[in-house]
Chain A
Amino acid sequence: MICGVLSAKITLYNFGKYLIILLLLTGSFGFVQNIDTNAKIKAVFLYNFTRYFEWPESKKSGNFIIHVVGKNEALVKELNKMSETKTVGNQKLEIINTPTYDGKSKPHMMFILPDAAKLLADVTAKLKGKGALIIAEKDGAAKTGAAINFVVIENKQKFEYSKTSAVKAGLKTSEDFKALAIAVD
């Protein structure tokens, strides 16, 4: 019978049932990525800072050391990744991460994380005049020894800059850099 092919029925019920199966098969939820965006942003900031300062002659050879004091695994991972491909001039990047600072390393950059913020005064004293750019992430840190202090403004990471502290540390910088920062002096 030629017209027998017309006997198939479609109903809204069947259609709905089909789509429910489709939903179950595909899963109804996506997932948010487990990536620390703040760590990546900070790593980009740190690498940028290497371009805006001039370190003393005594620190223009050997590895370019970034010492991170405190705990932030995601940031250290980003920095280590960065050190695999980037250099500062001819200097290779070396990343050190410790919970405290014993004064043995001679870093070009010293980043004191929030959980180690109480060490700021001690670290600043130990590195005074030794050509280390001290970076912190604590309210008021740029006025108490750090040359750069990360702050959050309108949900974005920005940084305060104390030229006085940078000069005291033996670093030279440009006015261009000051224009990019929130100057505290």
Chain B
Amino acid sequence: MKIKNITYLFLLLGVMLSGNAFAQYEKMIRVQECLKAKDIKGAKQAVDSVFLSKEAQTDAQAWYFRSFVYYELAKKDRATLISPARDSSVAYALKSIKLATDAELKQSCNEIIKRHATTYLNLRKILLQDSLKYERSYTAYSNYKKLNSMIDPNADYKAFDIEYFSAAGSIFTELFSNDNSKTEYGEVGKVALMKVLDLDPKNVSASFNLGVIYYNQGVNLINSMDIDTPLDKLESIQDNSVKLFKQSLPFMTKVYELDPKNVKALESLSRIYYALNDTEKANEFVAKLEQAKQGK
């Protein structure tokens, strides 16, 4: 049933209710009036009062209306990850689906759930791109998948996970590359890119960006030390930076193996080997870089 006229549904509900049907019908009319007047709080009070009646507890239509009213209520939370109204709306829609025998009613409940999923999808973007809050963005994306799976249990998210984590990884790698004092960005980038490689071990972009992050972290350690750093401390800084350069190496080597003419990878490998004091290998990649630039 594609819901086009809520009045029809209210009338239908009126017919379906028994016992104190008339009182319940009046309350539902009140809900409708409040919604028309954009008095969402009033609609909430009215629809909640319907559930004081025992009959409403097992009424799929009533649960659908309650879900819809809470959906309207949750609109004010569009920019908020946590919304009790949104959670209630989803719970009521699920309750309705469980009780419903009518396929069209179930479809209407699914539509409400889809709308909430859309909200999470939008939040995922805002939190990642505008606010740079990866954890919260990831929660929003997870919530999207959870809701979407309620209405499409067979949905396969692998390709979309790869794209999402690649986007997150790229954003944070670039931020870290532009300002290496923001080490937290490097860490977020690593987590996201590792997830990409878990899903797609041959992902060139993720491997490259992971190589970049580890290398830049190593460079950071050296670049940020004072010129009068004592020799014992210098030894430990070298230990840690070498560790990071060595962590960078397999990722960049993988890019090179997958794409031997990748100029950025060749240039990066020459720098990594140079940082590792392996001049011979560094020069080898400088030569390969020159060849690649000449199209050989």
Interface residues of A (CB under 8 A from B): 1-10, 12, 15-16, 18-20, 22-23, 26-38, 40-41, 43-45, 47-48, 78, 81-82, 85-86, 152, 154-157, 180
Contacts and interface: CB of A to CB of B under 8 A. Distances in A.
Given A10-B118, A29-B205, A35-B223, A47 B170 contact: no
A26 B174 contact: yes
26 contacts: A1-B4, A2-B35, A2-B68, A5-B115, A6-B111, A6-B114, A10-B117, A12-B148, A26-B174, A28-B205, A28-B209, A29-B173, A29-B212, A30-B189, A30-B213, A32-B212, A32-B268, A35-B222, A37-B275, A41-B234, A43-B227, A44-B229, A48-B229, A85-B227, A86-B227, A155-B242
A93 to B, nearest CB: 10
Interface string B193-219: 000000000000100110111011011
A10 B155 contact: no
A3 B4 contact: yes
Interface string B152-185: 0001110110011011001101101100100000
Contacts, number: 162
A1 B223 contact: no
B212 A28 contact: no
Contacts of B32: 2
B230 A48 contact: yes
Given A10-B148, A29-B170, A33-B180, 7 more contacts: A3-B5, A23-B170, A30-B170, A40-B223, A48-B231, A78-B227, A180-B231
Given A19-B160, A19-B167, A29 B264 contact: yes
Given A27-B170, A47-B227, A180-B231, A12 B108 contact: no
Interface residues of B, number: 73
B6 A3 contact: yes
A33 to B, nearest CB: 5
B51 interface: no
Contacts of A7: 111
B276 to A, nearest CB: 5
A12 B114 CA distance: 12
Interface SS, A side = helix
B15 interface: no
A26 B222 CA distance: 28
Given A3-B108, A22-B167, A26-B174, A8 B245 contact: no
A30 B112 CA distance: 40
Given A1-B5, A30-B177, A33-B216, A15 B160 contact: yes
Contacts of B176: 30
Q: Which 9 A-B pairs have the closest CB atoms?
A: A30-B173, A19-B163, A6-B111, A30-B212, A30-B177, A152-B277, A3-B3, A28-B205, A37-B222
Nearest to B252: A32
B218 A37 contact: yes
A152 B242 CA distance: 12
Contacts of A43: 227
Instruction: Tell me the dominant secondary structure on chain B's binding face.
Output: helix
Contacts of A26: 129, 167, 170-171, 174
Contact of B177 (A5, A12, A22, A33): A33
A35 B35 CA distance: 63
Contacts of B136: none
A27 B167 CA distance: 9
Residue in B155, B209, B219 whose Cβ sees the most chain A Cβ within 10 Å: B219
Interface string B231-258: 1101100110110011000000000000
Given A6-B108, A45-B231, A30 B174 contact: yes
B36 interface: yes
Contact of B160 (A5, A16, A36, A45): A16
Residue among B166, B223, B277 with max Cβ neighbours from chain A (10 Å): B277
Nearest to B189: A30
A40 B121 contact: no
B44 interface: no
Contacts of A40: 222-223, 225
A78 to B, nearest CB: 8
